[in-house]
Structure 1
Amino acid sequence: MNLLLPPLALLLLLAALVAPATAATAYRPDWNRLSGLTRARVETCGG
């Protein structure tokens, strides 16, 4: 196994690591609002 990754694979790996972190910090309020809406829907529907 070659330990030296091609630049493209290294960039893809970096993007795969950075994208979820930035998405989690950017959309955290939206996720809280969505989880609150789903919780309210479950409670009002008697679930």
Structure 2
Amino acid sequence: SIMFYPPGIPLLMPGEEVTADIIEVCQQLLAGGAHCYASDPTLGTIRVVA
């Protein structure tokens, strides 16, 4: 899962599709100073489990 604080709720959960819109929101949140909670907090990589 990928979660940002604030707001503190998951943006992406296991089983959900990673879309361009989701990536854009992640980039905006990181640029705005939100803290990312994921396996790679920089989101340089996203762990995908098939």
TM-score of the aligned structures, taking structure 2 as reference length: 0.30
Higher RCO (CA < 8 A, seq sep 6+): 2
Query: Quick check: which one's strand share is greater?
Result: 2
Larger radius of gyration: 1
Query: Quick check: which one's helix share is greater?
Result: 1
